Amino acid sequence: MPRPILATVHLQALRHNLDRARRAAQDARVWAVVKANAYGHGIERVFDALRGADGFALLDLAEAERVRTLGWRGPVLLLEGVFEARDLELCSRLGLWHTVHCDAQIDMLAAHKTQQPHRVFLKMNSGMNRLGFAPERFRAAWTRLSALPQVDEITLMTHFSDADGARGIEAQLAAFERITHDLPGERSVANSAATLRHPGRTRADWIRPGILLYGSAPDFPEHDAEHWQLQPAMTLATRLIAVQQLKAGDAVGYGSSFTAEGTLRIGVAAVGYADGYPRHCTTGTPVLVNGVRTRMVGRVSMDMITVDLTPVPDAGIGSEVTLWGRAESNGALLPIDQVAQAAGTVGYELMCAVAQRVPFAPMPVA
Ligand SMILES: Cc1ncc(COP(=O)(O)O)c(C=O)c1O
């Protein structure tokens, strides 16, 4: 029998979340952001559910090829553009749209021989200070780009650093609007947090939601997935492979970091940090056993965790353990954001980190 751990991708949830993005964005077109192998879900697994999007946005040329291999003929956007000049050949061949965030990328385009002019997204660094042209340099970049025969349409884009928090988007949006207000072309500014929290201000022509498609709240813990009417797109589940009866004073796991105060039944679940379950999770991290909420106790080891069975006295070897997502037994939910919080991280990291050794079971198309 294979080890009982399994990740499940919920296609219906992906469809629902895409629809949620559409409702927030009204008539804007939607990029489904599928970088990092669709945030760990697998591009091939999510493709059917997300093909209702207007385009797929990603980073990697290999991922762009995978989207084309799946038969997608619509827009594909490279969110960081090309990394070297020869990447432009593949852009021409596959009809990829690409971000231009620096002079070197304009130089590469100027030297590129293509029959088919490229559609580019010119990125402004409006305050995040990662990628993009500073506001005072943006118009010069636009002028240079628009003079190139290799370039067709130019969409104006920026990316928010604080759409999920109190600092908000105003300063960045003001910088973007000040510089671009009289330039022609479409606009794209909103990630998930901006789409949900500032819908009227950031809708523009294209939105770029990622995390919301996968059912994690971009601004947790201020709001949770339920608040935003998002459904989890991934369940990570396993089973109990052993049960131990502890007496007062008995400790559990490496470092004996948890000691039972009285008699305590604990279950040993087949999941560990080698599966992508974060080692930073400590005693108290929520877990579902047979769909009943309980807590992890002790340290996460490479292949196992230990869970308190007090609220589920009927649990035993073979009982279902849900690490995040939806329990198959009773439909109970454990938001990935709550587990991420217990590990001092965000849902993004957990879903991207599910290890290669974990088998995936795609849900049937409903
Ligand atoms: C340029 C750009 N747009 C959109 C996104 C999607 O962001 P989120 O997953 O927060 O919606 C990202 C992700 O980092 C990004 O880099």
Could you report the per-residue pLDDT of 180-210, keeping only the tens digit for each? Answer: 999 999 999 999 999 999 988 888 899 999 9
Residue ranges with strand state E in the chain: 6-9, 29-33, 55-58, 76-78, 97-100, 118-124, 151-158, 187-190, 206-207, 234-246, 251-252, 258-259, 264-269, 286-289, 292-297, 305-308, 320-326, 333-334, 360-362
State the distance from the centre of ligand 1 to the C-alpha of 11, rounded, in angstroms. Answer: 21
Cα 211 to averaged position of ligand 1 atoms, centre (Å): 8
Residue with CA closest to ligand 1 atom 8: 210
Average pLDDT, integer, range 52-64: 97
Q: Which residues does a 6 A CB cutoff place in the pocket of ligand 1?
A: 33, 79, 159, 191-193, 208-211, 218
Of ligand 1's listed atoms, the one at least distance from the Cα of 209 is: 11
Q: Which atom belonging to ligand 1 lies closest to the Cα atom of 99?
A: 1
Is the pLDDT at 364 greater than 70? The verdict is no
Distance 209 CA to ligand 1 centre (A): 6
Q: Is 273 helix (H, G, I), strand (E, B) or coil?
A: helix
DSSP string of 280-325, one letter each residue = T--TT-EEEETTEEEEEES---SS-EEEE-TT-TT--TT-EEEEEE
Ligand 1 atom showing the smallest separation from residue 33 Cα: 6
Task: Tell me how far the alpha carbon of residue 226 lies from the centroid of ligand 1, in angstroms.
Answer: 21
**pLDDT of 307 over the 60 cut:** yes
Choosing from 18, 30, 33 the residue with most ligand 1 atoms within 8 A of its CB, the one to mutate for a pocket test is: 33
Structural contact between residues 327 and 288, judged by C-beta atoms closer than 8 angstroms: yes
Q: What is the mean pLDDT of the chain?
A: 96
Query: Of all protein residues, whose CA lies closest to atom 13 belonging to ligand 1?
Result: 210
pTM, two decimals, is 0.96
Task: Tell me, in angstroms, the distance from the centre of ligand 1 to residue 219's CA.
Answer: 13
Residue 156 binned pLDDT confidence (cut-offs 50, 70, 90): very high
Q: Which residue has the CA at smallest separation from atom 6 of ligand 1?
A: 210
Task: Check pLDDT > 80 for residue 365.
Answer: no
**How much distance in Å is there from the Cα of 33 to the middle of ligand 1?**
7
- Residue 273 pLDDT exceeds 90: yes
The residues that are catalytic are 35, 254
From 63, 159, 176, 189, give the residue whose CB has the most ligand 1 atoms within 8 Å, as the site to mutate. 159
- Name the residue of 56, 191, 213, 352 to mutate for ligand 1: max ligand atoms within 8 A of Cβ: 191
Q: End-to-end CA distance of the chain, in Å?
A: 28
Instruction: Report the percent of the chain where pLDDT is more than 90.
Output: 95
Atom of ligand 1 nearest to the CA of 208: 4
Q: What is the pLDDT of residue 363?
A: 53
pLDDT at 138: 98
- Residue matched to tokens 């007496």: 247
